[in-house]
Amino acid sequence: MYNWAQVNSREERTIIKNQTRTRLNGEIRYPEVRVIGSSGEQLGIMSSREAQLLANEQGVDLVEIAANANPPVVKIIDWGKFQYQKMKEEAKNRKKAREKQSELKQMKIGLKISDNDLNIKVRKMRSFLDDGDRVKIMIVFRGRELAHKEIGSELLNKVTDMLGDDIVTEGKTQLNGRNLSVQVRKK
The rounded distance, in Å, linking the Cα atoms of 29 and 71 is 12
pTM, rounded to two decimals:
0.49
How many whole angstroms from its chain centre is CA 65?
Answer: 24
pLDDT of residue 20: 58
Domain boundaries, the chain: 10-97, 104-186
Class of the CATH domain delimited by 104-186 = alpha beta
Contact 35, 44 (CB under 8 A): yes
CATH for the stretch 10-97: 3.10.20.80
More confident position, 35 or 19: 35
What proportion of the chain, given as a percentage, has pLDDT over 90? Answer: 39
The rounded distance, in Å, linking the Cα atoms of 146 and 152 is 9
Contact 90, 118 (CB under 8 A): no
pLDDT of residue 8: 54
pLDDT of residue 9: 56
Q: What tens digit of pLDDT does each residue of 84-104 get?
A: 988 999 999 888 877 666 788
State yes or no: pLDDT of 61 exceeds 50: yes
Highest mean pLDDT among 16-25, 72-81, 117-126, 162-171: 117-126
State yes or no: pLDDT of 35 exceeds 50: yes
